[in-house]
Amino acid sequence: MACEITPFEITGDGFVISDDPSRFDLPRAHRWIATESYWAEGIPFDTFARACAGSLTVGLYAADGEMAAMARVVTDRATFGWVCDVFVDAAHRGAGHGKRLVRYLKAHPDLQGFRRLHLATRDAHGLYRQFGFTDLTGADRWMEIHDRDVYRR
């Protein structure tokens, strides 16, 4: 069964937030994540491009059309989501864009009715708690394979 996905956009305060892939500045987003993030430093462009293509990928755009921030949700659009790659360009920090992105994700029609919406953060717990995120429950049931050197090969 094929699913038709209609872009979801909201506007306010001179900014547009959209999941329209035709607007998303993939090279800019890759530069942010590969060179400025602590979680995916060195991620190859093709790997990042595949990750974005397989996710709900969101851009926050300034009035001039430049992408100022991004977020990505790995999701089946029915039961589960993993919020990741939330990033605000250095020139646009301190203006509430992280909150705008999280509000947008909470309102997105494809992210409603989930049993679980997860994320991991090293330093933004306060931001996410404002939107109802809590410490992981049932952590004793979760497992992972974590290959720290995957991008260094």
Q: What is the pLDDT of residues 68-97, one digit of tens each?
A: 999 999 999 999 999 999 999 999 999 999
Other C-beta atoms closer than 10 Å to the C-beta of 111 total: 20
Kindly state the tokens that stand for 5.
Answer: 């996905």
Kindly state the tokens that stand for 53.
Answer: 């293509």
Contact 118, 128 (CB under 8 A): no
Read off the pLDDT of residues 7-61 as tens digits, 9 standing for 90 and up: 999 998 899 999 999 999 999 999 999 999 999 999 999 999 999 999 999 999 9
What CA–CA distance (Å, rounded) separates 49 from 52? Answer: 5
Q: What is the dihedral of CA 14, 117, 85, 53, to 10 degrees?
A: -90
Average pLDDT over residues 105-116: 95
Read off the pLDDT of residues 99-110 as tens digits, 9 standing for 90 and up: 999 999 999 999
Within-domain flag for 53: yes
Contact 72, 39 (CB under 8 A): no
- 114 or 146, which is more confident? 114
* DSSP H/E element including 127: helix 125-129
- Tally of structural domains, the chain: 1
Contact 120, 81 (CB under 8 A): no
Confidence of residue 126 (pLDDT cuts 50, 70, 90): very high
Within-domain flag for 55: yes
Residue-number span of the structural domain to which 73 is assigned: 9-133
Within-domain flag for 143: no
Within-domain flag for 144: no
Within-domain flag for 96: yes
Q: Taking 90 as the threshold, does the pLDDT of residue 150 lie above it?
A: no
* Confidence (pLDDT) at 3: 62
Residue 91 belongs to domain with CATH number: 3.40.630.30
Within-domain flag for 95: yes
Within-domain flag for 49: yes
* Confidence (pLDDT) at 152: 63
* Confidence (pLDDT) at 42: 95
Within-domain flag for 119: yes
